[in-house]
A and B are shown apart, each in its own frame.
Chain A
Amino acid sequence: MKELPQVSPDVLETADAGAAREAGGGGPTAPPERPATSSARLVATLAAAGALAGLVIVLVFGWANPKIQAHRAEVLRQAIQEVLNGPESVRTYYVVDGALSESPVPGADTINAERIHLGLDDAGEPVGYAITGQEPGFQDMILVIFGYDAETDRVLAMKVLESKETPGLGDKIFKDTSFVAEFRGAAAPLEGVKSGAGSGVENEVDMITGATISSRTVIEIINNRIEALGPMLDESGS
């Protein structure tokens, strides 16, 4: 007869503490009937524990949040450098009421406000805008940053900032270097084509076999953002 792995009573006790102890025999007997605790005491215990837990979390958050924000800013800064091919300086604009403004709306949340970043070369000439955009992909939101030259209407480069796409398939949108390279210098609006089926037109991007939804999402994010922001960029660029 097969033997089952032996699990000590500790593990089983959860289900039925009293019964297990009685069946065991010889061990400690079941605890005596507990007098009912007053509701006030129950509420007070949980409230005190909750208040303590809240305090601890606030303290840890106060320590961790600056580091988290600094990391986020650093990732964004590097991404801007990458998609604008290393500009000399970067100027940040806030999108306010359908126009670009150098300062945010007073009192607004500067971290989550919609912004775009203009890269300048060493002569002070604009090289392009770094624009972020996000849309739902196959698993979760895909957050993309891309460089866009408003004068020539071309995408400079693309980088995926956040995605939870399927490992081995959808994550090729940032792991497959040839897919990422497809975006370099592609003319807007982009058009996704089946891998290898392109006719060499400049706005074509070869999509990834097995990651159609993920790669199409990236293309759509870029097209939608250019469509939404394009008019503003043309105005301020000239």
Chain B
Amino acid sequence: MRATTPAEDFVRGIWKENPVLVQLLGLCPALAVTNTVANSIAMGLATFFVLVGSSLLVSTFKKVIPHEVRISAYILIIATFVTIADLVLAAVVPLIHKELGAFIALIVVNCMILGRQEAFASKRPIGRALLDAVGTGVGFMIAMLMMGTFREVLGNGSILGVPLFGDNFEPWVIFILPPGGFLTLGFILLAFGWWQERKSDTARIRQWPHGVATPSREEAA
């Protein structure tokens, strides 16, 4: 396993290994509550808080938690942070809390968060775990915002509730309904995959002169 630099730990989750767009983790909230930009932001922030908080605690107590019960301990820590987020949202922004409903409680079973604890926070120093959690949380928020903007603009003709088009715009209602979540995610993954493939093609063409068969990564190695 290659050692990583702190900067790599931070940037990795934002783009190259974006939890939603590349690892396809945390899809439940990404599909369910991205029907408006405001909901996406609130969900992104709540998940960010839970992820950073639990990574910090898991990394701090990694020596104390016995190996046999580590998953239960992680879930306990995550669930505590989720309950706190739930109560704080209900007290501070009751309207958004009402919109998000049961999906806040479901952050507990977001595999993106548990995955970062088991794969990273439980094995690294606190600083690295924090960087990784912040990076992954920002990456998650970017993905949520992409979906939320796409869906609200097409499905409701507005951003953050502010109408963008005139009265003649007929909202594409399917995009704020559940099927719209799947369609949007599909379109975004398509664009993402196309962009990545094109990038790797360009890299290969630069390395090899024209007319030379490009070897695959395994052959080149």
Which residue numbers of A lie inside 8 Å of B, CB to CB? Answer: 1-3, 5-11, 13-14, 20-21, 24, 27-28, 34, 36-37, 41-42, 45-46, 49-50, 53, 56-57, 60-61, 63-65, 67-68, 71, 162, 164, 166-169
Contact = CB atoms under 8 A, between A and B. Distances in A.
A203 B155 CA distance: 35
A45 B66 CA distance: 8
B115 A14 contact: yes
Contacts of A45: 64-66, 69, 73
B202 interface: no
Nearest to A163: B98
A53 B76 contact: yes
B88 interface: yes
Contacts, number: 101
B77 interface: yes
Contacts of A27: 1-2
| The 5 residue pairs across chains A and B that have the minimum distance between CB atoms | A27-B1, A67-B91, A64-B91, A64-B87, A53-B80
Interface of B: 1-2, 4, 12, 16-17, 22-23, 35, 64-69, 72-73, 76-77, 79-80, 83-84, 87-88, 90-92, 94, 98, 101, 115, 118-120, 155, 171, 173, 176-177, 196-197, 200, 216-217
6 contacts: A3-B217, A11-B115, A46-B73, A53-B76, A53-B80, A68-B87
A135 B90 CA distance: 23
B76 A167 contact: no
B216 A1 contact: yes
A148 B118 CA distance: 58
